[in-house]
Amino acid sequence: METVPNHPRPTEGRTESILSSDDFTVIAKLKGTGLYKEWKAQHKNKREHQSEAQLESELIETLKTQGYDYLPRLTDEAALIRNLREQLERLNTRPEEGAYGPNSGFHFTDEEFNRLLTEHIARSNDGILEKAKLIQEERFIDFRLEDGTLRNIMLIDAAYPARNHMQVINQYRVPAPNGKVLNRYDVTILVNGLPLVHIELKKRNVSIREAFNQIERYQNEGFQQDQHRLFEYAQIFVISNGFETKYYSNTVRHKHVEDQQKAGRKTDSGGSAGKSFDFTSYWSDEQNNRINDLILFARTFLTRHTLANVLTRYCIFTVGQDLLVMRPYQIAATEKIIKRVEIANNNPKLLGTKEAGGYIWHTTGSGKTLTSFKTARRLAETGLVDKVIFVVDRKDLDYQTMLEYNNFQADSVSSTGSTRELSERLADRGTNIVVTTIHKLSNLITADSEHPVYGQRVAIIFDECHRSQFGRMNTAIKKHFKKYSMFGFTGTPIFEKNSAGGPGTTTVEVFGDCLHTYTVVDAINDKNVLKFHLEYTNTSPHFAELEETSYAEEIAAERAETPDAKELEKFAKSKEVLESPERIEAVATYILDNYDRKTNQSAATSYDIKKTRTINGVTEHYVQRVRGFNSILATSSIEAACTYYDTLNTLQEERIADGTLRPEQKLKVAIIYSQGNGGQLFDTFGEEENFTFATEGTGSRMDGFLEDYNTMFGTNFSTDGDSFDNYYKDVSRRMKVRELDLLIVVNMFLTGFDSKTVNTLWVDKNLKMHGLVQAYSRTNRILNSLKPSGNIVCFRDLEQATKDAFTLFGDTENSSGQSALDIAFTRSYKEAYAAYDKAVSELREEFPIDEGGSITVDTTEDKARYIEVMNKVLELQQELRVHDEFIRDGGNELISDYDMQGYTGVYNDIYEEARELRREQEEAKEGADSEGDGEEKPTGVDLFDRVSFLTELVRQQEVGVLYILELVKAARAARHGKAAGESGTSETAQDSVEHFRDRVRLAIRNDADLRESGDIIEDYFDTYLNESEDHDVQEHFHHYVTDRRTREEDTIVKDEELDSAETQRVVNRALKENRRTIPGKISRLVKGKISLFGGKLGGAKTEDAATKAKRVKQKLEKHIVRFMPFLGGN
């Protein structure tokens, strides 16, 4: 049989770059162009009101002018499949087969296409992730035709994006099982017949969060209803209300839904979109001007060339099965570097000069690693260079970068453990990308001046290029490599103002031009990172005057100035006092007293973390519920770090001894530092390749710290080189999955370490310029709505240093006219409290609590307004809680806990009503032929669409089980206290008991997690009330609820004939991990074997296995949810 390679799987080769002309630049300058002026003129005359149908029509007309084919009759699956067949035939027609047409070109037989569809494109077991892999990685299907030949069937052309055919459809109908219309999709873009981009529109006065939620409903329901589920091929979603437009990948929503299902909670289709909405992106031009307007978005992002390039060249399907769509500034930086390399290739005189390279200024937290990875991959794939060398300045960053690169694509890079290994990797023609440290690269140059890589065309990319590249090493690298382009990535460039002085020390002098800029102000404006909340905490006022002395000495040392003897003496004295046990104890006490508040450790602040574990050699991924965030303590020296570690542990042990801290509440603290040859202390791998420790002092003390860590986590680390290297990796991992509470460092982990769970940096050291911005930026990664900002708690006066750093690195030129400080930091306590006061006044005036404790909210308009006002109060309360003044002054909560429970109870009721209204509206749409294009009348759902339900913030108002138990205790005290010495209980005492009973019921109503468990608490209320003896209420309740769990579980086991021990094991594990679902097959819990067709084998036929398994699963999961608040891991 002949093999006919229609389209050999291409590498991109030396094909024409997408940047060969300005017309083909994916990200370009917008303001001042003809396109922008034309849009402005049209925008000026646009009507204020525009219905969703009118917005949809305008979008389609825009796409048609850009060369899209509009298919108004393609509204069902049969038409979609017919079109898919035609488009794949067109795409896969070879030149020698003639132009595609009815009688020419390549055509499938009916049997071939049906087989291609059912066995490859729409396999029954494939879902969103499998389809994403097919588009992003495989792109071809090896297919055998009826005549026996093999043919590579291309789905999308990544080598030549312009060959991909774009079509647009709208109002695609998905039928419900009863034959009526289940869903109707707004606008979809077909690429070669596959629906790769879906656009959901809302009216201009509706939040785009509702468009986001609408797509969730499609993914939960509609995308699975078509027989072949082709809409699961959607790679990118676009949401817009005309005024605001964002885009995101399919796995943003898929992962959110998957995690919620694993945790057993309802997906939030009627309210807050949760954390996943935070990962949607704005499109912008080359100068970071945001493109909000839908039509301007269509004229840029949705041009055929740009969209094809984004889909084929600027998406990454990671090892973790996340589809990452690069943000515009990341694409712009990649393009700039590729263009600079092409220019140098076309003008060889530029090779080895600054004109062949440049640097990228992208703030920390903006995804520089992803940008550098995609840049390296594009350079390697296109053949523009022979080798890409990615250089970091520290061994820890070497590990981090290699890990992240290989998370983007398995085995995509080679990391080097030694100079010899680096030499081998560079000599290997099959290795295109190498990650190494500057120390190894310098050693290679010294040891081997004739290495063949020096004569090859290479691109050398430096990460965080503001440190070790300056100086002799950098000069040596430039001297030996002959055909290089050198690029630097940094979030904090070195300018003359913050340089150490001397020639060749600024970023421009080393790397050349700044090719693209995306500052911390840009990132915060785009909501890609969080603002900072900064507080200066003077725990020891009498030490304050010494800080300036130590700070001045550090500056002098950096500038290579030699302080005189008096200055050195003064500095030594200030250092001695600032690191004294007395002062460190004061700071440590503050940290312990405020840790829970700063890191948001309330019971309601819980969220899911994805973890992995290995059991019997099998790696398992699972989701665990964790509470609050964690933090880093930055200290001024290793001696200070050690003192802090001891002091924090001592203080906690004292609190445990005196009963003010329970043992399980003790913070899990770790410390990490290293030590150079000859006993020189430092806290980064730096130019030293291996960890070393002295046998005395802080070196030997690390043995004790590791012993504590090993006891805490059951590990076996030591100060030996490889073992300590693994300790570093373990600390990094545990910080990221919220298993450590506090990490003590000096410099390590203050750059290059990203963890979304870190929200607080405690600072007891002097920071400035790039070091300050880098350290602060450890806290501002987006996680969820419970993390509104990164907290910086300074125990030194860094006010001027902070102003200087953010003024320099914030790039204050922005359209808002605000300073970098105004944008980067949260507002003052005074400003926030004034806004809070006003919001609470509005709430009380518009929705007062009457004498009976009721809140009247009658009409739908009132309910929507209620949610708006409550949202303001909730957001401002969250903003204020991190301020010391809000807690210290006392009485600043303008709404009592009791009243807030009433307000949030009403909030939850309205939220549930909105969900029900939306469900009813969806049902009412079934069978409708069209939505019409006239003026829509406002409905209850329309009014609720205009607001967002901040359900995660409402959860923070939940008082929790301990508070309720205190009410139970108070009720018993009221009954028995009033009744003492009397016959029976007085009427006043009974009224007091009923008052507490009402408060318990209100607390249950206010807590979503307790609604399924309300009967347990109410039954316990009566049980404890009638106890003759006074018991510790927490211990007594624990025994009560444990016993009740056993009794209810025994009933399920008996009724369903389950294996008691196995059932208990499964439930225990679910409770321990806060897992509300039962993984695996339920059949393992049933005694004996179950027939697939009903009943046990050998017994009477009763019901089929699936029915019983479903019922048992539901019973056990409801059982787990009931007892989770009391017996769960958190």
Nearest to 739 by CA among 714, 768, 770: 714
Model confidence at 685: pLDDT above 50: no
Q: What proportion of the chain, given as a percentage, has pLDDT over 70?
A: 75
Contact between 763 and 794 under an 8 Å Cβ cutoff? The reply is: yes
Residue 596 CA from chain centroid, whole number = 22
Alpha-helix runs per DSSP H in 512-605? 520-525, 547-558, 565-578, 581-598
Q: Which residue has the higher pLDDT, 966 or 363?
A: 363
Q: What is the pLDDT of residue 268?
A: 41
State pLDDT tens for residues 402-418: 566 655 555 555 556 68
Question: Per-residue pLDDT averaged across 115-126, rounded?
Answer: 92
pLDDT of residue 834: 94
Could you tell me which residues are beta bridge partners of residue 682? 674
- Of 150, 51, 705, 753, which Cα lies nearest the Cα of 399? 753
Q: Which 8-state DSSP code applies to residue 169?
A: E
Answer whether 948's CB lies under 8 Å from 930's CB. no
**Cα separation, 326 vs 335, whole angstroms:** 12
- pLDDT per residue as tens digits for the range 778-796: 999 988 778 889 999 999 9
Contact between residue 608 and residue 259 where contact means Cβ atoms under 8 Å apart = yes
If you average pLDDT over residues 760-785, what whole number do you get?
91
Average pLDDT of the chain, as a whole number: 80
CATH number for the segment(s) 581-824: 3.40.50.300
Is residue 27 within 8 Å of 335, Cβ to Cβ? yes
- Is residue 606 within 8 Å of residue 736, measured between CB atoms? no
Tell how strand 181-191 and strand 483-490 pair up: unpaired
Count CB atoms within 10 A of the CB of residue 706.
Answer: 21
Angle at 950 between CA 949 and CA 951, to 5 degrees: 95
DSSP H or E segment with residue 1124: helix 1105-1127
- For residue 495 the two structure tokens come to 């300018």
| pLDDT class of 682 with cuts at 50, 70, 90 | very low
Pick the CATH number of 829-926+938-955 from 3.30.1330, 1.20.58, 1.10.10, 1.10.1740: 1.20.58
Backbone angles phi, psi at 341, to 5 degrees: -65, -40
Residue 984 — very low, low, confident or very high, per pLDDT cuts 50/70/90?
very low
Could you say which architecture CATH assigns to the domain 45-325? Answer: Alpha-Beta Complex (3.90)
Q: What pLDDT is stored for residue 39 in this prediction? A: 59
Beta strand segments in 510-635, E: 514-518, 531-536, 606-615, 618-627, 630-635
**Mean of the pLDDT values across residues 359-375?**
88
Instruction: Give the pLDDT of residue 1017.
Output: 87
pTM: 0.78
> What confidence tens digit (pLDDT) does each residue in 885-942 have?
887 655 577 888 778 888 888 888 888 888 777 767 666 654 454 444 444 444 556 6
Residue ranges per structural domain of the chain: 45-325, 328-518, 581-824, 829-926+938-955, 1032-1130
pLDDT band with cut points at 50, 70 and 90 for residue 687: very low
pLDDT: which is higher, 1113 or 763: 763
245 vs 973, residue with greater confidence = 245
Q: Are 441 and 477 in contact (CB under 8 A)?
A: yes
* Angle between helix 698-713 and 721-736 (nearest 10): 50
Q: What integer is the mean pLDDT of 1043-1056?
A: 92
- Can you identify the CATH homologous superfamily of domain 328-518? P-loop containing nucleotide triphosphate hydrolases (3.40.50.300)
Residue range 15-49, pLDDT digits in tens: 333 333 333 566 666 666 666 666 566 665 565 56
Rg of the chain over all Cα atoms, to the nearest angstrom: 32
Distance of CA 458 to the CA centre of its chain: 34
Tell me the residue type at 27. Answer: I
Mean pLDDT highest for which of 190-199, 251-260, 1009-1018? 190-199
Higher pLDDT, 1111 or 743: 743
Q: Are 328 and 285 in contact (CB under 8 A)?
A: yes
Q: Copy the structure tokens of residue 54.
A: 């009118």
Q: Establish whether domains 45-325 and 581-824 are of one fold.
A: no
- pLDDT at position 960, please? 72
Q: What is the DSSP letter of 277?
A: G
